Amino acid sequence: MSGDPYRLTVNGRPVEVFDGHPGESLLFVLRERLGLPGSKNACEEGECGSCSVRLDGDLVCSCLVLAAAAADRQVVTVEGLADTDDGAGPLADVQRAFVEAGAVQCGFCTPGLLMAVDALLCDEPDPGELTVREAISGNLCRCTGYGRILEAVDKAATMRREARS
Amino acid sequence: MTIARTLDDACAALAADPTATVLAGGTDLMVQVNRGDRIISNVVAIDRIPELRGWTREGDFLEIGAGMTYAEMADPGFAALVPALGQAARTVGSPQIRATGTIGGNLATASPAGDMLPVLVALDAVVELRSSNGRRHLPLDEFVVGVKANALTAGELIVTVRVPVLHGPQEFMKVGPRNAMVISVASLALVVDPAGRTVRVGLGSVAPVPLRATEAEVMIGGRIDWDGGGPPTTGDVDRFGQLVADAARPIDDHRGTAAYRRHVVGVMAQRTLVRAFGMVGEAAA
């Protein structure tokens, strides 16, 4: 059984989803129907944050969003952070900061963390460490121990402030 | 799939198909769907209904829309009016969960570990339910009736939660294996009603439903120096903790033992009381 078609705006582009199944998540639709595998699928219960996207501006776990219920909403995925349509570069400030700080190890948590850090810096251009830790508390990394991720957040915050001044 | 735009739309959709699944933030429902524990076909999404969003104040009561998110409840403007609810909301999940999960969803799921529930039971909250047949109001202890069981009947929606503004200190605490992303092993809300000269205590995760620690409330209410404002004695604090621990009806499960839960609600009771009233030998908070 498939549901009615519905529209989403993903990274600024209108898309239409046909033949969706009633219970499928936004994460599934992004990865399997729209060819956007940047958002990662790990826990499927909102614990790990690796599927984080912006939905009408809010940072959410796309695994917990019923895709059809997001009809007509604006979705931004990690592919939408960079300046080009296909996400192939040039890299956004948060992406450059993660590379430069060595905050990427296996890389699985990175897309979700990039989305969380980008959301944080949109609200708080100069966040303190506690604010940063709370902002990324929903994104699990099992490789790095978070030290270099925290460095990357500082670096990204500096880049963004300097770009604005 | 119905994306309801008004409360009447949602009630009509549920009247047409009382078996439809109601979707608010999705943070509980989608976990079950993703696991394959729950098959959904017809869904009524209620997250775009303006009547369910936000809150209003009428005198010394707040009408909290069922669609109010944890992030909105943690916002300082709201949290200043119902501090324990703001504190509890801030401890739920992660920023991602708090952006979408709602107070109505916490009530509908009715988990013993629902973090809003001990606060709402301490506040004597009243839940308003609506269906195409009309509306009714239930006090929290009549709404949550068991483990993940509530008084909602087919076709009914949670619309608002009514809580008082009490003008006294409030504290929420919970215990879990770490700070963030934690399901409560035990939780406690303490609210002070200076006008009514009562201290009210709600307990979570220590019984099938949120509990009040009535004996402890009566004891400490009679010992507080309501006019002078001095702190309770250490003997009173100890006795209060013991009575709160006695009120718990915990079980052993994968998150903790009954004995630990009973102990820890006693400790949280003492700490919240001291935070609210100060300690002997120091000025009241």
What CATH class has A93-164?
mainly alpha
Per-residue pLDDT tens digits of chain B, which is 285 residues long: 999 999 999 999 999 999 999 999 999 999 999 999 999 999 999 999 999 999 999 999 999 999 999 999 999 999 999 999 999 999 999 999 999 999 999 999 999 999 999 999 999 999 999 999 999 999 999 999 999 999 999 999 999 999 999 999 999 999 999 888 899 999 999 999 999 999 999 999 999 999 999 999 999 999 999 998 789 999 999 999 999 999 999 999 999 999 999 999 999 999 999 999 997 765 544
**Which candidate from B29, B35, B99 shows the least CB-CB separation from A58?**
B99
How many beta-carbon pairs under 8 angstroms link A with B? 91
Phi–psi pair at B211, nearest 5 degrees: -115, 155
Contact B164, B63 (CB under 8 A): no
Q: Which fold has domain A6-80?
A: Ubiquitin-like (UB roll) (3.10.20)
DSSP state of A33: I
A27-66 residues touching B, CB cutoff 8 A: 44-47, 49, 52, 58-61, 63-66
Q: What is the dihedral of CA B29, B35, B39, B41, to 10 degrees?
A: 60
B1-30 residues touching A, CB cutoff 8 A: 1, 3, 23, 25-27, 29-30
CA distance readout (Å), A99 to A39, A106, A114: 18, 12, 11
What is the full DSSP assignment across B178-208? Answer: SSSS---SEEEEEEEETTTTEEEEEEESSSS
Instruction: Provide the residue ranges of all domains of chain B, joining segments of one domain with +.
Output: 2-164, 170-277
What is the dotted CATH code of the domain comprising B2-164?
A: 3.30.465.10
Q: What is the DSSP pairing of strand B2-3 with strand B43-45?
A: parallel
CA distance B49 to A65: 17
pLDDT for res A67? 98
Q: What is the DSSP pairing of strand A74-76 with strand A6-10?
A: parallel
CA distance readout (Å), A79 to A37, A74, A121, B18, B119: 9, 14, 18, 40, 41
Q: How many residues does chain B have?
A: 285
Instruction: Quote ipTM for the complex.
Output: 0.95
Distance (Å) from the C-alpha of residue B71 to the closest C-alpha of chain A?
10
Q: Which two tokens stand for residue B13?
A: 């959709």
Q: What is the DSSP pairing of strand B43-45 with strand B21-23?
A: parallel
| Domain B170-277 part of CATH 3.40.50.10680 | no
Q: What is the dihedral of CA A82, A118, A96, A63, to 10 degrees?
A: -70
CB within 8 Å: B95 and A47: no
CA distance A157 to A125: 6
By the 10 Å C-beta count (0-12 exposed, 13-18 middle, 19+ buried), A164 is classed as exposed
Assessment of whether the complete model's pTM goes beyond 0.90? yes
Amino acid identity at B42: N
Instruction: Provide the residue ranges of all domains of chain A, joining segments of one domain with +.
Output: 6-80, 93-164
B170-189 residues touching A, CB cutoff 8 A: 179-181
CB within 8 Å: B94 and A138: yes
| Chain B residue closest in CA terms to A135 | B95
